[in-house]
Structure 1
Amino acid sequence: MACRSFVRTIWWLALTPLFGCVAVEPASTQLQIREFQTRTYPVRDSKLVMKALINALQDEGFIVKHANTDLGLISATKETNVENPNFALLMGLFGGNEARWRKVAIVECSANVTEFGDETKVRVNFQVKTLDNRGEVMDVRSVSDAEFYRQFFSKVDKSVFIQRQQL
């Protein structure tokens, strides 16, 4: 038993330096985050934009859980297996019954679609919930990467175009 504890301690001491040197980016303000989470479309048809948004989400592998055209709300989720079999094996060997490792990432999306005059405004936000091998939540974090949202809205733009052309 003492040998196992010793090996576990050596293992963690060997890994600690790998995680200590991470560059920290300055945090975005709430206004900056809201800006890249929002896109305005030059069409006064929230139903068309909602349909395009749903299509873009489904193209990305999301399952739409709720859609309410009256309120302009959409919620969707996508599950991804993030388990590393080698890491799981090592954690099982050295961690025993108490071992925990990342197993599933659930990406949740909520969208708000609103008409303003002759335009339709869309605001989306994503969060990632990571579950461990026991199904317990390890962490939850909001996606605040402007490039992620730019790429997502690029797909929505194409979907809006297709919807408008009725292709």
Structure 2
Amino acid sequence: MKRILLAALSALLLSACEQGIPKEALQLSQENLQMRQLQTRRFDSADEGKLLQSSAGVLQDLGFTIDQSDTTVGVIAASKNRDATETGQVVGAVLLSMLSGVPQAFDKDQKIKASLVTRPIGDGKSTAVRVTFQRYVWNSRGQVSKVEGLNDPQLYKEFFDKLSQSVFLTANEI
């Protein structure tokens, strides 16, 4: 009797733990699809190597340092360090420190990262290039205060405009 009761109780507990994956968990939102479209461009070239070379050149022209690159899988990772100090935030921190007597932190340094991937498109004559930009901010205490994706459409437009020019120059050996 104890074994039957124990087996029934175990089955009940195990069945309560099973939840399954909700249908919406694997669906991209409209916002995600719009961001992917903003971050991706199609180029009429099957030569991923030249696209990666042009992409690396554009990133370097924008002040990025290439951290990793693998042309066999079509990936570039780059970063650049910048000052994140904002006068208004520093003034606010100083005033709050004076009022509270407790030193307040303010944003100080940031690292902007770029991740770029290429992939052939099914027709064999085109390649898709997708780039994403992220920002990591450290405060005056050396703590990470922000981690965010950079989603400004103008940023992506400028990057892809420069990449298009670079691809044209590379293709025509100018």
**With structure 1 as the length reference, what TM-score do the two structures score?**
0.76
The yes-or-no answer on 1:146 pairing with 2:148 is: no
State the shift of 1:88 in Å: 3.3
The yes-or-no answer on 1:110 pairing with 2:115 is: yes
Unaligned runs of 5+ in 1: 1-26
Q: Rg: which structure is higher?
A: 2
**With structure 2 as the length reference, what TM-score do the two structures score?**
0.74
Indicate the residue corresponding to 2:44 in structure 1: 42
Higher relative contact order (CA 8 A, sep 6+): 1
Unaligned runs of 5+ in 2: 1-28
Q: 5 Å matches for 1:155-166?
A: 155-166=162-173
State the secondary structure of the residue aligned to 1:121.
Answer: strand
RMSD: 2.0
- Indicate conservation of the 8 Å contact 2:89/2:107, yes or no: no
State the shift of 1:78 in Å: 1.3
The yes-or-no answer on 1:137 pairing with 2:137 is: no
Indicate the residue corresponding to 1:59 in structure 2: 61
Q: 5 Å matches for 1:92-107?
A: 92=94, 94-95=96-97, 98-107=103-112
Which residue identity is paired with 2:117? N
Identity across matched positions, percent: 28
Counting matched residue pairs gives 141
Deviations 1:18-38 (A, max 9, x none): xxxxxxxxx961001001100
Indicate the residue corresponding to 2:134 in structure 1: 127
Deviations 1:50-91 (A, max 9, x none): 000000000000011000001101100111112146753663
